[in-house]
């Protein structure tokens, strides 16, 4: 079986979510290629995966400019959209058309039997239908684009752009080919169908934790905090919540690791430097989380999944995209608490203290963790994908 995987050129969409699927397919004897933007070439090279370069695919920066200003607030045009309509505008429409036109140039030579796309990348959906291929969707952002009321018109705009008929609803995207790394109970609404749920593979075993973090004091709770790679690249330093996060953690009886983001040298940090806060530009998040007592996060989908899989409760500070929905779901399930993106240090500290001191959060997360551990592994996903072609 020859499988084409498609992803937006965004690290958190591709590397932790799609690359393990591609590697598992290849281990099972299938031929794979990944179609995405040129910026992802170094990551695919490191993973040893063939890359079909899509030169016209919108970059993360282009997608950001569609919807967000440098301070993280909506652009004037995006502000005119109704609630939940932004995802369709960003990911479908012209974004999908540009992607599928590139795919139609490079995919036929590869000769795929199956397309596997991540849920925010709609070019793969268009490609599969244009070539008459089965298409599976990996829901890397549960509660994200599929719930967007603006998705259908934007998607139909893209379909018209490549000569495909309109859809009456979005159920075609999720009917029998909707795969997820989260348990079914994460989904508050299954009106679009029920996903097939699997347990994501464990992180690479050759990673080791940074010695500076290994040697941190162990006489108090360990808190990991950081806004994530996409948020770090999206917000200006002035708009970042990091200074308030550091000041909040300084008031707690904890040891904290605060991730400043790629390219941010801790030695150049201009904010406060509390004795109990270790600043770093990067941390092996999935490796460190099992040793943590709390994760303070922007609650992107990958961070939520990794934290819950590690049994760690969260304080959510959602910034954009599906993050407010993730924060609400965490609160609904008793897995954490949420604060506003503009909350001051006192409010952030109070939320962290509440989660650290109330054992119900840890107990609820441990219960959710068992649901994750009860899911079939990635080998079952590979078998189910193969069955779509057989």
pLDDT in tens, 183-242: 999 988 766 678 899 999 876 667 889 999 999 999 999 999 987 655 555 555 566 889
CATH code of the domain containing 367? 3.40.50.2000
Average pLDDT of every residue of the chain: 88
In a domain, 120, yes or no: yes
Between 225 and 152, name the one with better pLDDT.
225
Tell me the two tokens of residue 55: 């030169």
Task: Please give the span between the terminal C-alpha atoms of the chain, in angstroms, as a whole number.
Answer: 9
Burial of residue 45, with CB atoms counted within 10 A of its CB: 0-12 exposed, 13-18 middle, 19 or more buried:
exposed
Tell me the two tokens of residue 17: 């979510």
Count structural domains, the chain.
Answer: 2
In a domain, 113, yes or no: yes
- pLDDT score recorded for residue 229: 57
Quick one: pLDDT band at residue 83, thresholds 50, 70, 90? very low
Give the side-chain half-sphere CA count within 13 A for 363: 4
Of 5-14, 178-187, 220-229, 298-307, least confident by mean pLDDT is 220-229
Tell me which residue has tokens 């490191």.
46
Residues of the domain holding 150: 2-199+375-387
Do 189 and 93 share a structural domain? yes
For residues 315-339, average pLDDT: 91
Do 352 and 342 share a structural domain? yes
Residue 247 has pLDDT above 90, yes or no: yes
- Kindly give the interhelix angle for 323-332 and 301-309, rounded to the nearest 10 degrees: 30
Do 161 and 125 share a structural domain? yes
Quick one: pLDDT band at residue 77, thresholds 50, 70, 90? low
Do 28 and 92 share a structural domain? yes
Going by C-alpha positions, the residue among 66, 52, 63 that lies closest to residue 22 is: 52
Cite the DSSP H helix spans in 117-224: 123-131, 151-161, 211-214
Do 379 and 257 share a structural domain? no
Cα dihedral across residues 390, 168, 116, 139: positive or negative = negative
In a domain, 204, yes or no: no
Do 233 and 148 share a structural domain? no
Do 278 and 249 share a structural domain? yes
List all residues 6 or more positions away from 276 whose beta carbon is below 8 Å from its beta carbon. Answer: 220, 249, 250, 252, 254, 255, 256
Do 20 and 61 share a structural domain? yes
- pLDDT score recorded for residue 261: 84
- The torsion defined by the Cα of 338, 342, 346 and 352, in degrees rounded to 10, comes to 30
**For residues 372 and 155, what is the distance between their CA atoms, to the nearest angstrom?**
32
Of 77-86, 102-111, 265-274, 345-354, least confident by mean pLDDT is 77-86
Do 223 and 183 share a structural domain? no
In a domain, 302, yes or no: yes
Do 219 and 191 share a structural domain? no
In a domain, 253, yes or no: yes
List all residues 6 or more positions away from 348 whose beta carbon is below 8 Å from its beta carbon. Answer: 244, 245, 248, 296, 315, 317, 339
Of 33-37, 87-91, 149-153, 235-239, least confident by mean pLDDT is 235-239
Do 226 and 306 share a structural domain? yes
Between 362 and 153, name the one with better pLDDT.
362
- pLDDT score recorded for residue 130: 94
In a domain, 206, yes or no: no
- What is the reported pTM? 0.88
In a domain, 159, yes or no: yes
Tell me the two tokens of residue 91: 């990911």
Residue 278 has pLDDT above 90, yes or no: yes
**For residues 5 and 97, what is the distance between their CA atoms, to the nearest angstrom?**
17
Do 248 and 313 share a structural domain? yes
Tell me which residue has tokens 């963790």.
369
In a domain, 130, yes or no: yes
For residues 114-133, average pLDDT: 94
**For residues 116 and 34, what is the distance between their CA atoms, to the nearest angstrom?**
9
């Amino acid at each position: 079986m020859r499988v084409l995987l498609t992803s937006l050129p965004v690290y958190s969409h591709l590397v932790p979510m799609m690359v393990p699927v591609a590697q598992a397919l290849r281990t099972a004897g299938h031929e794979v290629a990944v179609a995405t933007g040129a910026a992802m070439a170094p990551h695919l090279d490191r993973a040893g995966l063939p890359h079909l370069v899509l030169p016209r695919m919108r970059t993360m920066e282009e997608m950001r400019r569609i919807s967000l200003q440098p301070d993280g607030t909506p652009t004037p045009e995006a502000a005119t959209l109704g609630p939940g309509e932004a995802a369709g505008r960003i990911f479908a429409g012209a974004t999908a058309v540009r992607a599928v036109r590139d795919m139609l140039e490079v995919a036929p030579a590869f000769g795929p039997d199956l397309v596997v796309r991540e849920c925010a990348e709609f070019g793969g959906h268009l490609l599969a239908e244009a070539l008459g291929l089965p298409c599976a969707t990996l829901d890397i952002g549960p509660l994200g684009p599929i719930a967007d009321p603006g998705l259908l018109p934007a998607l139909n705009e893209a379909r018209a752009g490549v000569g495909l008929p309109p859809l009456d609803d979005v159920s075609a995207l999720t009917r029998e080919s909707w795969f997820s790394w989260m348990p079914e109970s994460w989904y508050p609404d299954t009106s679009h169908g029920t996903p097939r749920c699997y347990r994501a593979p464990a992180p690479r075993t050759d990673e080791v934790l940074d010695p500076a973090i290994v040697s941190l004091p162990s006489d108090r709770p360990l808190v990991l905090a950081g806004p994530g790679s996409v948020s770090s690249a999206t917000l200006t330093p002035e708009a970042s919540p990091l200074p308030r996060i550091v000041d909040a953690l300084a008031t707690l009886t904890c040891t904290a690791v605060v991730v400043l983001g790629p390219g941010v040298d801790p030695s150049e940090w201009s904010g406060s430097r509390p004795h109990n806060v270790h600043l770093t530009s990067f941390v092996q998040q999935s490796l460190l989380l099992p040793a943590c007592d709390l994760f303070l996060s922007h609650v992107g989908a990958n961070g939520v999944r990794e934290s819950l899989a590690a049994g760690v409760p969260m304080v959510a500070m959602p910034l954009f995209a599906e993050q407010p929905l993730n924060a609400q779901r965490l609160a609904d399930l008793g897995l954490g608490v949420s604060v506003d993106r503009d909350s001051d240090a006192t409010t952030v500290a109070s939320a962290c203290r509440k989660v650290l001191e109330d054992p119900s959060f840890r107990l609820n997360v441990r219960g959710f963790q068992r649901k994750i551990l009860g899911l079939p592994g990635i080998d079952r996903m590979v078998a189910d994908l193969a069955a779509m072609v057989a």
